[in-house]
Amino acid sequence: MTTTEPVSKNMSSANHVKKYSSSIRFWHWANAIVISGSLITVLINSTITKGRPTATLIKNELQKAGAQVTADQARAASHALSDSVWDIHVYFGYVLAALLLFRLVMEYFQLADQKFIRSAKIVYIQYKTTKAKREQVRNQLVVKFIYATFYLLLVIMVITGLFLAFEDALVAYKSIRHSVKEVHSFCMYLILAFIVIHLAGLFLAERKEESAGIISDMINGGKN
């Protein structure tokens, strides 16, 4: 009797292309951890190790313990604390830069069905040419646009961050340092806005029956 079963167990899985490759899932969760880490360092430096209040706290506590500390010494100690938090921020930054590079290289080597640029183009063409399921296609287009904006923000964050990290080697550009820092910190608010929109979008999508399970798709790969 002939059998139609696949010769190898892997054959059936080879034919089934997952919605998200293992590389993109790794990138997604690593990126989420690194961005959260970066944001936590910024939060610490704008609260716990914030200049003047921390200097006052150090001075008062040391004086209570019987030490004589000047305001300048306390300020220097507070500065050193925040510098060590910035060092951690920069380590997160290097990992984020490496992850961005990994994402760019990955886009080139991904299977066609898993490429972001390709799927964004398909949704755009669908939006331009078909009248069917107009609202659904428009929503997909908005989602792609938001992701594209996020990728652009990551690029800006990495370029400005690396500029700040290597400012000693880039003394020739000292005049733009302040503006670069402004852009870097302003983009943080846009990244925060993206995180809020992303989480709200996931929450709303999970409530719809047809797209339920999108969070687990980013864990197990999902079906294309």
Dist CA 55 CA 49 (whole Å): 9
Look up residue 199 and give its two tokens: 């989480």
Q: Is 221 in the site for ligand HEM (CB under 6 A)?
A: no
Dist CA 184 CA 166 (whole Å): 14
Give the bridge partners for 223, in sequence order: 18
> In whole angstroms, how close is the CB of 166 to ligand HEM at the nearest point?
8
Q: Is 38 in the site for ligand HEM (CB under 6 A)?
A: yes
Residues of this chain, 128-167, that bind ligand HEM according to CB under 6 A:
157-158, 161-162, 164-165
Angle between helices 71-109 and 134-165 (to 10 degrees): 130
Q: Is 89 in the site for ligand HEM (CB under 6 A)?
A: yes
Look up residue 183 and give its two tokens: 């852009």
Quick one: which of 57, 180, 188, 190 contacts ligand HEM (CB under 6 A)? 188
**CA separation, residue 22 to residues 14, 19, 32, 95, 106 (Å):** 14, 10, 15, 19, 11
> In whole angstroms, how close is the CB of 58 to ligand HEM at the nearest point?
19
Q: Is 124 in the site for ligand HEM (CB under 6 A)?
A: no
Binding residues for ligand HEM (CB under 6 A): 35, 38-39, 42, 86, 89-90, 93-94, 96-97, 157-158, 161-162, 164-165, 181, 184-185, 188, 191
